Amino acid sequence: MGLLKDFYTWELAGKLKRRWFKEIINPFNWQRNIKYRHQRLERGWSDRDTWDGGSYILSVTSGVLKKLGDDKSHIDWREYFKHNYPKNCGYKNLNQVAKDIDRYLEFDEYAWGDSLGFDIKHGSKELPNGNLEMISLNTPKEEIAIRKAIDKSHKEWERRYKKAQKAMKFVTQNFPSLWD
């Protein structure tokens, strides 16, 4: 992965958003990204990858499955699946396994608040003991919409998570036969 692509991926992951250009011209960030690239070359993962290790493992697994399942492979995966998994494991080729993983990763970057047509407003009020309590400043109608968005997001996350889990179970149960 190139250094500019590292910055772009980092920005897409929601870590920079508005300050992307300032971050790209900062020499310290270039130095840090070079360090992360060297770590990936030496050990296959970087310090940055450990903070979201699950997603990193999923993305690497998906990439490997896609590479194995591409048209240039010397194995006809459709035929392989047909003969080795006759009881219908739910997949017909490696690209379908990778797709379930990718769909989870795509949704994992999604924020439930993005679907709202308004901003979430909150404030604080002082309690008698001197502590502050966070309170919502949204209208009751907005509160209902917030709750619905959270519930909808949670259900979709659960659905995609179960598919990704199924895909990873398939990989762990069959990894000796998937690689040459």
Query: Do 33 and 111 fall into the same domain?
Result: no
Query: Do 41 and 63 fall into the same domain?
Result: no
Query: Do 161 and 174 fall into the same domain?
Result: yes
Torsion of CA 89, 98, 150, 115, to 10 degrees: -130
Name the domain boundary from 30, 51, 72: 51
Query: Do 41 and 122 fall into the same domain?
Result: no
The pLDDT tens digits for 94-129 are 888 999 999 999 987 777 777 888 888 888 888 889
Task: Tell me which residue range forms the domain holding 5.
Answer: 1-51
Query: Do 115 and 37 fall into the same domain?
Result: no
What is the arithmetic mean of pLDDT over 1-9?
A: 53
Query: Do 28 and 67 fall into the same domain?
Result: no
The pLDDT tens digits for 51-97 are 778 888 898 899 989 988 876 767 777 777 878 776 767 888 888 89
Query: Do 97 and 135 fall into the same domain?
Result: yes
Q: Is 149 exposed, middle or buried (0-12, 13-18, 19+ CB in 10 A)?
A: middle
Query: Do 126 and 173 fall into the same domain?
Result: yes
